[in-house]
Amino acid sequence: MTPRLSIGSVVKSYTAKKTRTTVVDRISLDVAPNEFVALIGPSGCGKSTVLNIAAGLVTAESGSVRVDGIEIAGPGPDRGVVFQNYALLPWMTVRENLAFALRSARELHDKVEIDRLIDAMLATVHLTHAAERMPSALSGGMKQRVGFARALLIEPKIVLLDEPFGALDALTRAHLQDEVLALWERRPMAALMVTHDIDEALLLADRVAIMSRGPSAVISRIIDVPFARPRRRADLMERPEFNHLRTELLAQLTHETEIIENALAS
């Protein structure tokens, strides 16, 4: 079966002060239709760069990104992006933000149809009451709900999530993770999420790809998450396999850190 998203051997480097640093070095990763993949790694390892390459916002020097087998030509609405800092347009209300996405990505122009789709999506993310508010009048959690709503409304082939819960406080984060989990299990779709939170990766993902610490970051390991769906946070926490996996992942991530620290020390 053709993967929904196929990242093939992408390389990206930056030149600063005449020194060339390879950030990601021949990274390959596939996401199947209806599969949720988490990309986890220490901060600064270049995992967001991989996501931006998949989104088309950053161009790789070599390698390819394919959606349903077709090479991408830059960013496009076949991939819905949820940004870490929400990236709502602050001069538009919630409804206008979503309508802008619909008009841009799906070229819808029928006002009644647009409003119907928006109202349904706002009900899904529990934001019906905030439709006419400006983003500046929303809490972080509410802003990111709009972020999710925008990415889903355009009916992309895959959603790309760049640390979507990263800017939220712990309580809001857990709450929104649970909602996203339930939403995804009701309506599964291909998803690639970048995160540095092990629990979050294990809760949401079918597979977890671990990136080594940069520079020249590679994917050092891919783990299948064995928990059946529908998952519940409380149930997972009680299972010994969960703690086992979590310890293993943590060891892997700290191991990556140690390697580099040892290399620097010697």
Partner 1 sequence: MSEAIVTGSIGDPEREPKRARVLDDTTKAAIAFAISLVVIVGAWQLYAMSGYASKLLPAPGAVAVNFFEAVRDPFYSHGDNDKGIGIHLLASLGRVAAGFAIATLIAVPLGIFIGLSPVASKAFDPYIQLLRPVSPLAWLPIGLALSKSSAITALFVIAISSLWPILLNTIYGVRAINPVYLNVARTLGTSRWNTLRHIVLPAAAPNIVAGLRIGIGIAWLVIIAAEMLIGGTGIGYFVWNEWNNLSVASIITAIIVIGAVGLVLDRLFGVLHDRVRFGE
Residues near partner 1 (CB under 8 A) are 55-57, 74-77, 79-81, 83, 85, 87, 89-92, 100-101, 103-105, 134, 136, 154
Residue with Cβ nearer partner 1 (103 or 126): 103
Residue with Cβ nearer partner 1 (89 or 251): 89
Nearest-approach distance from CB 74 to partner 1, in angstroms: 7
What lies within 8 Å, CB to CB, of 130 at 6+ separation is 94, 122, 138, 142
By the 8 A CB rule, do 89 and 97 touch?
yes
Nearest-approach distance from CB 101 to partner 1, in angstroms: 5
Instruction: Give, for 191, the enclosing helix (H) or strand (E).
Output: strand 190-195
Residue with Cβ nearer partner 1 (160 or 203): 160
Residue with Cβ nearer partner 1 (87 or 260): 87
What lies within 8 Å, CB to CB, of 136 at 6+ separation is 90
Q: What is the C-alpha separation between 39 and 29, in angstroms, rounded? A: 9
Nearest-approach distance from CB 84 to partner 1, in angstroms: 10
Residue with Cβ nearer partner 1 (77 or 141): 77
Residue with Cβ nearer partner 1 (56 or 214): 56
Nearest-approach distance from CB 108 to partner 1, in angstroms: 12
CB burial class (10 A; 0-12, 13-18, 19+) of residue 256? buried
Q: Edge-to-edge strand order for the sheet containing 62-67?
A: 19-31, 5-16, 62-67, 70-71
Assign 78 to helix, strand or coil: coil
By the 8 A CB rule, do 52 and 24 touch?
no
Query: Which long-range CB contacts under 8 A does 52-61 form with residues at least 24 apart?
Result: 52/162, 53/7, 53/10, 53/12, 53/24, 54/5, 54/7, 54/79, 54/160, 54/192, 55/79, 55/81, 55/160, 57/81, 58/12, 60/10, 60/11, 60/12, 61/11, 61/12, 61/13
Nearest-approach distance from CB 219 to partner 1, in angstroms: 24
Residue with Cβ nearer partner 1 (107 or 238): 107
Nearest-approach distance from CB 241 to partner 1, in angstroms: 37
Nearest-approach distance from CB 143 to partner 1, in angstroms: 11
